[in-house]
Structure 1
Amino acid sequence: MMLLVIDIGNTNTSFALHSGKDWVARWRSSTDPSRTADDYAVWLAALMQMESLELSHIKACIVSSVVPQAKFNFRNLSRRYFDAEPVFVGDPETKLGVPIRIRRPEQVGADRLVTTIGAHQIYQGPKLVIDSGTATTFDVVGADGGFEGGIISPGINLSMRALHDAAAQLPRIAIQQPAKVIGQDTVSAMQSGVFWGYVDLIDGLVRRVKHEYGGDLTVIATGGVASLFEGASDTIDHFDQSLMEVGLLEVYRRNIKD
């Protein structure tokens, strides 16, 4: 039996196939709530054929989404093409099994909890998970996997877009590490401010979290742009793009009926 794991983000949607033993394929698409179940089925079928797989191999599906409008089409995709009722993270009947030790546990996004579940499956001891997406989140995970609070800041792409939109004479630029910190023109100056500003935001907040936590934390970075900071950050111990899919697999296992 193959499980299709789907993570619908604001910008991209990730798909991963698990055979019951191993991950066998991964794909990524831009998030478009207007795409129908049939559109996704045709797209998936073509990609799976390249891996010598077929839609009929998929017998189960779990979905995490921060885009409510996309939920309808993915439910139809699973029902119509996989003959399976999908598990949706965030639905009242979906159990995550995570101790949440904050004042307002109902306000924690399910996607953040799933990522911390994935981190707990892979890494031991207390952890700090940094997820770089539309927002950059910093989530503290106890040694037992419990969610102990976190930080939310604007994502690097969001900040760059705001800079361009608010200042008429500043161009839209690609995010990359500049050759020097001191820019010699507008583009390099913006790249330095955005890139090194975010590296220092990450490193500064990690140090503050560790100081307040009062103990060591394994720091894991994940998310769409996390790899940009590899080799630039002084505080990140691991870069791991698998946390969400590993977390979704674990949530599925916690919810399947024997």
Structure 2
Amino acid sequence: MLLAIDCGNTNTLFAIHDGRDWIAQWRAATHTGRTADEYAVWLGQLMALTGLRFSDLTDCIISSVVPQSVFNLRNLARRYVKQEPMVIGDANVNIGIEVRIDRPSEAGADRLVNALGCHVKYPGALIIVDSGTATTFDIVSSDGAFEGGIIAPGINLSMMALHEAAAQLPRIAIQRPEKVIGRSTVQAMQSGVFWGYINLIDGLVNQVKDEYGAPMTVIATGGIASLFEGASKEIEHFDPDVTIRGLYEIWKRNKG
């Protein structure tokens, strides 16, 4: 069985693939100081609830945008999976994605993994909207190449900025308001954050399509993407498994 780890700025996803399907997924808050043993205690307990043990795992692949976390995640794989992990970004790991931007080294590992994860499932040119700490819009050509994109602040960052920079604005939860015009401060903030992001997504997707000049399929992923389902006019597919699908594909290709 394969343990796939996707370490993001806010959350870290642990997922297990049995060779046919993803059979378990868990998320933990990303803390750079968390040791391999602390990860193992937490993960081992969750695995036990589904009848799994570390001895069932035979391989591990790691993708991380938090460099400080990689050392402890490597040690988790070495000590408890008893394998040297495959780490995205290492020289010996071939992602298999052509990067058509001015400075290919600047392309984040997570964005390349997402590009592959979508390309193997969806045909044609793609726009991948990944909603997390940042909201990214990644462009994938019909032949699977990464062609650049857009990086915007994430919705949680925007809410945090409102609360911290304006003395009289409270901290609010993200939810879809019934009406655009708010009748209270909280309603007004929720409308601005939610509908502001819907229009950010739809507006940028439309501009990308106009500039690209070819039909494109729009896929949304990330921890917050489900909030936008039914509200965005441009998003065609909501797919929470984009990243782990990409990691599995990379693992298969490198394992031969």
Normalising by structure 1, report the TM-score. Answer: 0.97
- Residue 69 (structure 2) aligns with: 70
Q: Aligned with 2:174: secondary structure?
A: coil
- Relative to structure 2, which stretch is displaced further, 176-185 or 44-53? 44-53
Work out the percentage of aligned pairs sharing the same amino acid: 62
- Whether contact under 8 Å (1:44, 1:55) holds in the other structure is no
Distance 2:66 2:120 in 1: 26
- Residue 228 (structure 1) aligns with: 227
Q: Aligned with 2:173: secondary structure?
A: coil
Amino acid at match of 2:148: G
Distance 2:107 2:34 in 1: 28
Q: Aligned with 1:136: secondary structure?
A: strand
How much has 1:104 moved relative to structure 2? Answer: 1.2
How much has 1:93 moved relative to structure 2? Answer: 2.1
Residues 1:94 and 2:93 aligned together:
yes
- Residue 212 (structure 1) aligns with: 211
Instruction: Give unpaired runs (5+ residues) of structure 2.
Output: none
- Whether contact under 8 Å (1:218, 1:237) holds in the other structure is yes
Q: Aligned with 2:218: secondary structure?
A: strand
How much has 1:150 moved relative to structure 2? Answer: 0.5
Distance 1:135 1:105 in 2: 20
- Whether contact under 8 Å (1:129, 1:221) holds in the other structure is yes
After superposition, the C-alpha distances for 1:106-151 in whole angstroms (9 at most, x for unaligned) are: 1110110001110011111111100001110001111111111101
- Whether contact under 8 Å (1:128, 1:217) holds in the other structure is yes
- Residue 159 (structure 1) aligns with: 158
- Whether contact under 8 Å (1:94, 1:255) holds in the other structure is yes
Q: How many residues align?
A: 256
Q: Aligned with 2:47: secondary structure?
A: helix
- Whether contact under 8 Å (1:139, 1:151) holds in the other structure is yes
- Whether contact under 8 Å (1:130, 1:139) holds in the other structure is yes
Within 5 A, what are the aligned runs for 1:63-212? 63-212=62-211
Amino acid at match of 2:250: V
Residues 1:8 and 2:7 aligned together:
yes
Q: Aligned with 2:58: secondary structure?
A: strand
- Whether contact under 8 Å (1:45, 1:54) holds in the other structure is yes
- RMSD, aligned α-carbons: 0.9
How much has 1:58 moved relative to structure 2? Answer: 0.7
- Residue 57 (structure 1) aligns with: 56
Q: Aligned with 2:137: secondary structure?
A: strand
- Residue 246 (structure 2) aligns with: 247
Distance 2:100 2:221 in 1: 23
Q: Aligned with 1:122: secondary structure?
A: coil
Normalising by structure 2, report the TM-score. Answer: 0.98
After superposition, the C-alpha distances for 1:47-87 in whole angstroms (9 at most, x for unaligned) are: 11111111100111001111111111111111111110011
Amino acid at match of 1:24: I
- Relative to structure 2, which stretch is displaced further, 33-42 or 214-223? 33-42
